Chain A
Amino acid sequence: MLQNFFSYILQGVSITIAVTLVALPAGLALGLGLALVNTYGGPWLKRLSAAYSLLMRGVPPVVLLFILYFILSGNVVNLTPFWAGSVSLGIISSAYQMEILRGALLSISGGQMTAARAIGMSRWQAIRNIILPQALRIAIPPWSNEASIVLKDSSLVYALGVPEILRRAQQLSATTQQPMLAFGAAALIYFVLVFLVNRGLDTLAEKTKLPTQAA
């Protein structure tokens, strides 16, 4: 019985991982663009990206999920529950990742930009070759927080009927009346996933560390 329990919940892992693999990179791409625009763009772009960040950090993920799936999807574009869930998590995460990357960009001293411009680099060249390589490294530790949050938030797609880890645990809890066992198994699986992600990112941070960065 215990084994059945575990294997049934374990089948949800692939969905949890798939949702995370869509939401996290999508959020990174969007968040990076927004962070650059917010740091180096003109006043209007700055205001627009700041407003986006404020709005998306203020909306609970599950609300955006319902808007995207039940209201927009079907009328505008047809999204499956999986994509509606992954995209809305990606959008929310992009706002948080934008703030993480913005902080990292701002932590690179302004003198470096001035120096780069003085030796004849364009603004974009300076950002790409001087600022970004440093900022991205600095952003890894706070970004690994965001990665584990997205991993755990991926459970929200259950609201649309995608049978990931948490929903499977709920079903087992309802069938067997052993919530301790069902949710304990789910917690253990989440813990292992988050642990692996954080360890991986720690290693990445260590490997790519700059000489100027503290140990």
Chain B
Amino acid sequence: MKRLYFWFALVLVMSLLLAACGGAAGGSQLDVIKKAGVIKVGTSADYPPFEYIDESGNKAGFDIELMEEIAKRLGVKVEWVDMPFDSLIAGVQEGKIDISISAFNYTEERDQVVDFSDTYYDGEDAFAVADGFAGSIQAPEDVAAYKVGVQNGTTQDGWLTGLVDEGLLAEANLFRYDRADQAALDLKNGRIDVMMADSVPMKALAAQLGGLKIVYEGVVSSGPMNIVIPEGATELGQAINEVIAQLEAEGFIEALALKHFGQ
């Protein structure tokens, strides 16, 4: 039995030592990344055309190409980490990934646990319905009368949840999906009446699936898209912001948007 205690104590001491080593890594996050020459970037590669897997199995999309260019100018390589969308913020928070780019919009709730870079693209929301839809959606709040689908953890989800909290939309009529394409399929199959998403991927989904149409477009919950950086990583944030400003000035971002969104 004594021997068992010995091993137990040893493991405990080892793990404490390991923890201490982890905490002692000095320097700002930017220095650590530059030293390693690699930046770990989280994304959820299931949101075309922002981020997705192309025919040959590689990551592709607007965010992917933008991030590769930003990293190139910072003098580091991107190591992509693919995670479900709702794991990404936790991943940045806990230092599992350095930053995350995944069509993130700024929200106050997110800002409490992570920081945001400057805006790299201005998003809009869109509402889509199936072709045979008999109702009418003139204003965003009109969706409260229908069964609405949305991707879990998105700003659109936040806005619709707000409608539920205000008592306008019945909780039972809000359907949250892991991925946007699941919601779009249910929309086509008639399980939900309306779907809300960022307008660019919403249009892409509608075009690809067919039988869906956009009935409303505008800024509702969406808006500026930003890269998620860890809370308090100011130097890293500044370095990324400088590159974003450069790319903006050079027309790189505009050209990229034209290539991926056709607008």
Contact = CB atoms under 8 A, between A and B. Distances in A.
Given A160-B83, A174-B179, 16 more contacts: A8-B57, A69-B94, A70-B93, A74-B22, A76-B18, A76-B19, A78-B22, A160-B87, A161-B42, A161-B91, A171-B52, A171-B82, A173-B46, A173-B181, A175-B48, A177-B205
Contacts of B57: 4, 7-8, 11
B15 interface: yes
The main secondary structure of chain A at its interface with chain B is helix
B56 A4 contact: yes
Nearest to B95: A74
A25 to B, nearest CB: 20
B46 A74 contact: no
A8 B53 contact: yes
B48 A174 contact: yes
Interface of B: 15, 18-19, 22, 42, 45-48, 52-57, 81-84, 87, 90-91, 93-96, 179-181, 184-185, 205, 208-209
Nearest to A175: B52
Nearest to B185: A179
Q: Nearest 4 CB-CB pairs, A to B?
A: A174-B46, A161-B83, A171-B53, A8-B57
A90 interface: no
Given A158-B84, A160-B87, A171-B82, A78 B53 contact: no
Given A70-B90, A161-B82, A170-B179, A175 B15 contact: no
Contacts of A160: 83, 87
Contact of B47 (A66, A163, A167, A174): A174
Interface of A: 1, 4, 7-8, 11, 66, 69-71, 73-78, 81, 158-161, 163, 167-168, 170-175, 177, 179
24 contacts: A4-B56, A7-B57, A70-B91, A74-B22, A74-B94, A74-B95, A74-B96, A76-B18, A77-B15, A77-B18, A159-B87, A161-B42, A161-B81, A161-B82, A161-B83, A167-B82, A170-B179, A171-B45, A172-B53, A174-B48, A174-B52, A174-B180, A175-B46, A175-B54
Contacts of A168: 53
A1 B56 CA distance: 10
Contacts of B83: 159-161
Contact of B208 (A11, A158, A177): A177
Contacts of A163: 82
A71 B93 CA distance: 10
Nearest to A163: B82
Contacts of B48: 174-175
Contact of A75 (B19, B181, B185): B19
Contacts of B82: 161, 163, 167, 171
B202 to A, nearest CB: 13
Contacts of A4: 55-57
A80 to B, nearest CB: 9
B84 A159 contact: yes
A71 B96 CA distance: 11
Nearest to B42: A161
Given A77-B15, A171-B53, A70 B181 contact: no
